[in-house]
Amino acid sequence: MQVVFVLSSWASGSSAVAGFLGKCGCYTCPPHFSLLDPRTPNSFESTEYRDALMACIDENSLERISPTSNFVAFLSDWLPAQIQKAEEQGYHYLVLKHPLQSFLLDEITKIVKPIFVVVTRPLEKIEQTRRRRDWGPVYGSAGAKSIYSAIYSYLHNNSKCYLAVPYEEFRNDVDMQRHLIDYCRIKTTDTQIHSASTWLRHHTPPVEDSELRYELEMTETLNQVMARAKQLEEQAFQAETRASLAEAQIAALKNSNSWRITAPVRAIVAFLRGDF
């Protein structure tokens, strides 16, 4: 069975690429990890595979936290079981994706002969998506730099073949979508490709529009906050002006003849009210 590994950082569009391959007849090893993002609710990341990766690589520091032999032992048992499940359901291809697998490629290739697909996206776009999701730095450009460095270092140093898929173009370029299918040696039908391509367009909103909309929403919110702050500042200035005017009027009154003449009367009134 052909096993495709989709390599990428978070917020790169890899879920869309893996989902597209799934629609073209690849087994994606469900159940999948769900995201709290209405634009990408399904990550197409196997929860079991994800758990095993996170037990070996810390998701925040991207550092190894347990021996890689633990992951090798897991994958040696788990992958054949997944292949058997796929075959029983009539699948001939299997897809795995998660950013942390980028740090275990040497261990992976000792167990299976993979087909590598690298999903790319500009760092500024990755960072925009991270901010929109309100995720930590590792899920944006900071983490992407380390992840792609690990990917390319391994692939180039070990003379491995791979296909680079630029997500921004891939979404709407049918020829690029077909090239991905051909590279992965997936036998599919025109109907499946059309269905997968339609799903890809509808499943993921236009990157430029969605990110621009987010920036506009943030700008509008900032403008509203600044307008409210200016309003409060004006109100505070007006209150301070009225207080200063009242103090000036009181001072003028105290210096007037009427204030001195009525002093005995005010003293009696204060005494009767108990102000003394």
How many domains are contained in the chain? 2
Q: Is residue 61 part of a domain?
A: yes
**164 with 37, same domain?**
yes
Residue 8 sits in a domain whose CATH number is 3.40.50.300
Question: Which domain covers residue 172, as residue numbers?
Answer: 2-205
**78 with 186, same domain?**
yes
Q: Is residue 210 part of a domain?
A: no
**pLDDT tens-digit profile of 217-266?**
555 666 676 667 677 787 877 878 887 777 776 776 667 666 567 777 66
Show which of 178, 205, 232 is a domain's final residue: 205
**199 with 223, same domain?**
no
**89 with 153, same domain?**
yes
Alpha-carbon Rg of the chain, whole angstroms? 32
**252 with 224, same domain?**
yes
- 28: its two tokens: 């994606």
Strands 32-34 and 42-46: what pairing?
A: antiparallel
Q: Is residue 52 part of a domain?
A: yes
**257 with 128, same domain?**
no
Chain mean position to CA 186: 30
Query: What per-residue confidence (pLDDT) applies to 236?
Result: 77
**163 with 228, same domain?**
no
Q: Is residue 109 part of a domain?
A: yes
Given a cut of 70, the residues of the chain with pLDDT beneath it are: 204-223, 225-227, 229, 249, 252-254, 256-260, 265-266, 268-272, 274-276
**30 with 125, same domain?**
yes
Contact 42, 15 (CB under 8 A): yes
Contact 82, 30 (CB under 8 A): no
Query: What per-residue confidence (pLDDT) applies to 265?
Result: 65
Show which of 148, 182, 205 is a domain's final residue: 205
Q: Is residue 230 part of a domain?
A: yes
Contact 168, 121 (CB under 8 A): yes
Query: What per-residue confidence (pLDDT) applies to 206?
Result: 54
**125 with 100, same domain?**
yes
Show which of 205, 231, 253 is a domain's final residue: 205
**56 with 177, same domain?**
yes
User: pTM above the 0.85 mark?
Assistant: no
**136 with 246, same domain?**
no
Query: What per-residue confidence (pLDDT) applies to 112?
Result: 97
**58 with 102, same domain?**
yes
Q: Is residue 198 part of a domain?
A: yes
Query: What per-residue confidence (pLDDT) applies to 78?
Result: 98
- Cα gap 56→86, rounded to integer Å: 26
Q: Is residue 220 part of a domain?
A: yes
